[in-house]
Structure 1
Amino acid sequence: MKGSLSAAEVHKQYSDGVTAFRRQITDATLRIKFTQEVDIFFRACTLGVWGRDGASITPRHVEYYNAIYTKGNPVPAILFWELSTAVSEYPGFQPPPFFARMRASDKVSGTHLARRFIDLMTLMQLLFAAVDDVVSEEEAGFVNACADSLSALCDRDGLKGGKAPLDAKDFISKRPEADGPGDEAAPAAAVAGGGEAAPQTEAEQAPAPSLEELMAELDGLCGLDKVKADVKSLINLVKVRKLRQEHELPIPPMSLHLVFLGNPGTGKTTVARLLAKIYHAIGVLSKGQLVEVDRSGLVAGFVGQTAIKTGEVIQKALGGVLFIDEAYALANQDAPNDFGKEAIETLLKGMEDHRADLIVIVAGYTELMGTFIHANPGLESRFNKYFYFEDYNGGQLMAIFQSMCAKNGYTLSDEAEEYAGTYFRELYEERDENFGNARDVRNVFERAVSRQSDRVAALEAPGKEDLMSLTLADLREDDGAQTEGT
């Protein structure tokens, strides 16, 4: 469609707008909460906008939805049927959880974050409405109603506004004729820029990382020495096969599908994502994206639907890697009529039909994955390469924790560093079936940041060092809370 924003352009406008707003948040706790919740909130907004005027959901809607994320947050991977269902079941607009804290912060500091956020929300919702190059009257009415509900909360709290709020009805555009110039759609393409039309250029795509950069990223992962060696060996094998092909030499049959064995939190998804990019860099895959699913993303509740659902996932993964976590859940030996069998059969057919441009990685616990692979002869023949992901030891857990601190702008006092080293060593030595590896480290980090925020918020005039420092008190917790969330 002429004038339509690409998904890449939507992502850039959305990410730039949210990032610029986040920089205005000086309260560290509020900034963290905003970062964690903002993408979820705006993706919910799309469901309300797209359900206004009865238009059908199209593949472009799916592309727009999956473009709504900011750096560091999970990237959505919704499917067509999932989005259609979500739009039809939209429960109604709800203020985001962080908005209450934002208003409280404004009340104390005299800032206008809440009012500015309402304008940001209006612009983003108009950006979503422009999926078909049109902002309809119904869509604009919904956007204004959402803004009015947030404004009413600000009014109730006595928060004065600055400039007049944006009116979504100023961006209403008529649907362009199929053979017309399409000028009427200009406002829709400009909503994220504050009303000025953006030039229609090719999507600004970041250059794909080189093989050297990807291998450096792999080497930079903590631990996983055996996995790294296996990946490098596999890459060498693929590169030599391509060279033999170029010299018209025989190429023995080889399956590139993989089995990842190991406990949760050992980096399986991270390595799978890197492998997808590496395969793209050496010309094995045309796109190099990773599509991650589990049983719920493949299996439906009625006969015939599972094949459709699994087939759609395969189509989405073409050109990249399909990563199936906890794949053993598809092989339910206790229920021979389980729809997981249908998913496996559809998956095997897809792997055969698209063997030149699809790689499947199945992952899960070591003992359970063996049962899964042997549940179907087709699985045994296609999955013959196994990568073993060992648990992180105490020193590696500490290194991951230090990396999280450095990446997020936190420093450890000497006492806190000593305490953390002992804590992670004991966590590894006393691990049981609930041990979560890097997930446990993330839980410890997030709880420490939360306690630090409560402590710093009580200071009269905290400085930069106060905002960055994690102390022994921030890391300590009751024994009963140590395994929370693992």
Structure 2
Amino acid sequence: MKSSISAAEVHRQYSEGVSAFRRQIADPALRVKFTQQADVFFRACALGVWQRDGAAVTPRHVEYYNAIYAKGNPAPTILFWELSSAVLEYPGFKPPEFFARMRACDKVSGTGLARRFIDLTTLMLLLFAAVDDQVGEAEAGFVNSCADALSALCDKDGLKGERSPLDVGDFVTQRPQPAQPETAEKPQEAPQAEEEPAPTLKELLEQLDGLCGLEKVKADVKSLINLVKVRKLRQEHGLPVPPMSLHLVFMGNPGTGKTTVARLLAQIYKAMGVLSKGQLVEVDRSGLVAGFVGQTAIKTGEAVQKALGGVLFIDEAYALANQDNPNDFGREAIETLLKGMEDHRADLVVIVAGYTELMDRFIHANPGLESRFNKYFYFEDYTGDQLMEIFRSMCEKNGYTLDESGQACTARLLHGLYENRDENFGNARDVRNLFERAVARQADRVAALEQPDKEALMALTEADLQESPQA
């Protein structure tokens, strides 16, 4: 199996992680000791991870081992047979000597280096475990036991700290089942349900037209579709086509349909042959940024890989550009994202979304973002009448009815919600909250009836709505 992470990439991630941590060490003597001992410690940890794997050592293990050295330190040159013997003879995990001094510094200055070193160790061991593109239960167990051993020493010294943001269990992968002998009777396969045919471009455009409001967005989407169509026609006739970016910026308040339009666009691009799959992968800052150096690039890269062939939708994308903290890991996510967009420009569309003012600042925070995101869709707030239309649609889809007084009460509430809106206005989200609270009130009322009929089970009354607090 070809590894998705080369030895050169392992060296880069390891060296950057160790170097970044070393820069956080203020004590000169501790910094020197860490520099001298870190490579030896981590190479020993690699032996432990690979011993738990149980599989035979391969040339790739040798390449990984020889890549474990920080910038400025000599690179190891272990041979295959030497590594095989070292893995078999691994004596067990032993905390590094500098860890004791690190804890002593933390007790005096409260720097928290020891806890951060546990995070670094966990990340590096997972990197080593990925030598065969798999992280097994035994390997994950070893990583956890090493982190627990270091954490126990911190606890013993009274060094408090938060739990690592990295969950080792998230990285465990299922190993492929061994192939069955050809003579063995094959289990009867369950009948496969027929896949529904993908919606046509006409059907998708009808869904777009069926959305409440969003007239400007609908027009912008159709204009974009026309642009793509004409480009394809020009290509078919051998005419030159100017460069075009399909990446988009969605600007507007929450609850204005940004995710819904993004999902439709992904399917529209698929129907037009622009994208191969048409799926929507939705993430926010937490889905791209990790708690310490090195892991963010991996996390963002995984999101990009999952979105290949479709659309990567990043909600509240402005949170990636923390202007107040130049060392924020969001910058690493942006750089990884830009590289992914460049490497996969033929089969990946990225849509970033968020509040209008904040998104404008986000795009202009990085020249790479400015050059790739040059199409803006503005999602206006729903009016009171449109909010009412959304509420009626929710009732219809969920089997509820409104009498005249109930409709008048709902309209009054929603128009008031729109007229008094502020920065916390949630548009369709507020309508959904109002609907769910009304349904809960109705359930309490109907449950008290002896034998409610179908009409009573469906009816939302003025009382159900009046008792619902406004959002």
TM-score category by the smaller chain? 0.5 to 0.7
1:469 CA drift (Å):
0.6
TM-score, L = length of structure 1:
0.61
How is 1:156-305 mapped onto 2 (pairs within 5 angstroms)? 177-180=179-182, 183=185, 186=187, 198-199=189-190, 201=192, 204-305=194-295
Q: Percent identity?
A: 73
**Take 1:329 and 1:459, find their aligned partners in 2: how far apart are those partners?**
50
1:206 CA drift (Å):
1.3
User: Aligned with 1:265: secondary structure?
Assistant: coil
1:200 CA drift (Å):
5.1
How is 1:3-152 mapped onto 2 (pairs within 5 angstroms)? 54=137, 85-86=169-170
Change in Cα spacing, 1:341 to 1:182, as seen in structure 2 (3 Å) is: farther
Larger Rg belongs to: 2
Residue 425 of structure 2 corresponds to residue 435 of structure 1: yes
Residue 451 of structure 2 corresponds to residue 449 of structure 1: no
User: Aligned with 2:421: secondary structure?
Assistant: coil
TM-score, L = length of structure 2:
0.63
Residue among 353, 362, 381 paired with 2:352: 362
1:249 CA drift (Å):
0.6
User: Aligned with 1:292: secondary structure?
Assistant: strand
Change in Cα spacing, 1:364 to 1:408, as seen in structure 2 (3 Å) is: same
Cα distance per residue 1:245-283 (max 9 Å; x no partner): 111110100111000000000000000000000000001
Change in Cα spacing, 1:458 to 1:335, as seen in structure 2 (3 Å) is: same
1:213 CA drift (Å):
0.3
1:303 CA drift (Å):
1.1
Change in Cα spacing, 1:381 to 1:279, as seen in structure 2 (3 Å) is: same
Change in Cα spacing, 1:182 to 1:374, as seen in structure 2 (3 Å) is: farther
Cα distance per residue 1:317-337 (max 9 Å; x no partner): 000000000000000000000
Change in Cα spacing, 1:177 to 1:327, as seen in structure 2 (3 Å) is: closer
Residue 464 of structure 2 corresponds to residue 462 of structure 1: no
Indicate the residue corresponding to 2:298 in structure 1.
Answer: 308
Change in Cα spacing, 1:476 to 1:257, as seen in structure 2 (3 Å) is: same
Residue among 420, 425, 436 paired with 2:410: 420
Cα distance per residue 1:223-255 (max 9 Å; x no partner): 000000000000000010011111111010011
**Take 1:363 and 1:258, find their aligned partners in 2: how far apart are those partners?**
9
1:56 CA drift (Å):
8.7
User: Aligned with 1:205: secondary structure?
Assistant: coil
One-letter code aligned to 1:250 = P
Change in Cα spacing, 1:205 to 1:460, as seen in structure 2 (3 Å) is: same
**Take 2:138 and 2:346, find their aligned partners in 1: how far apart are those partners?**
37
Residue 329 of structure 2 corresponds to residue 335 of structure 1: no
**Aligned length, in residue pairs:** 311
Change in Cα spacing, 1:352 to 1:278, as seen in structure 2 (3 Å) is: same
1:183 CA drift (Å):
3.9
Residue among 369, 374, 377 paired with 2:364: 374
Residue 341 of structure 2 corresponds to residue 351 of structure 1: yes
Change in Cα spacing, 1:87 to 1:465, as seen in structure 2 (3 Å) is: farther
1:284 CA drift (Å):
0.3
**Take 2:363 and 2:139, find their aligned partners in 1: how far apart are those partners?**
40
One-letter code aligned to 1:393 = T
1:302 CA drift (Å):
1.5
Q: Specify every segment of 5 or more residues in structure 2 that has no aligned partner in the other structure, as ranges.
A: 1-135, 141-164
One-letter code aligned to 2:208 = L
CA contact (8 A) 2:413 2:470 kept: no
1:182 CA drift (Å):
5.4
Cα distance per residue 1:388-426 (max 9 Å; x no partner): 000000000000000000000000011001111111111
User: Aligned with 2:342: secondary structure?
Assistant: helix
User: Aligned with 2:281: secondary structure?
Assistant: strand
**Take 2:241 and 2:197, find their aligned partners in 1: how far apart are those partners?**
32
Aligned-residue CA RMSD (Å): 2.3
One-letter code aligned to 1:85 = G
CA contact (8 A) 1:176 1:182 kept: no
Residue among 382, 399, 406 paired with 2:396: 406
Change in Cα spacing, 1:414 to 1:224, as seen in structure 2 (3 Å) is: same
CA contact (8 A) 1:266 1:392 kept: yes
Cα distance per residue 1:289-331 (max 9 Å; x no partner): 0000000000011111111110010000000000000000000
CA contact (8 A) 2:441 2:467 kept: no
Change in Cα spacing, 1:431 to 1:349, as seen in structure 2 (3 Å) is: same
One-letter code aligned to 1:282 = M
**Take 1:314 and 1:86, find their aligned partners in 2: how far apart are those partners?**
17
**Take 2:224 and 2:257, find their aligned partners in 1: how far apart are those partners?**
18
Indicate the residue corresponding to 1:325 in structure 2.
Answer: 315
Change in Cα spacing, 1:267 to 1:82, as seen in structure 2 (3 Å) is: farther
1:55 CA drift (Å):
8.1
Change in Cα spacing, 1:469 to 1:433, as seen in structure 2 (3 Å) is: same
**Take 1:366 and 1:237, find their aligned partners in 2: how far apart are those partners?**
25
Change in Cα spacing, 1:55 to 1:233, as seen in structure 2 (3 Å) is: farther
Indicate the residue corresponding to 2:85 in structure 1.
Answer: none
CA contact (8 A) 1:273 1:289 kept: yes
One-letter code aligned to 1:354 = H
Change in Cα spacing, 1:269 to 1:177, as seen in structure 2 (3 Å) is: closer
**Take 1:132 and 1:302, find their aligned partners in 2: how far apart are those partners?**
28
1:199 CA drift (Å):
3.4
Cα distance per residue 1:186-208 (max 9 Å; x no partner): 4xxxxxxxxxx65355x632110
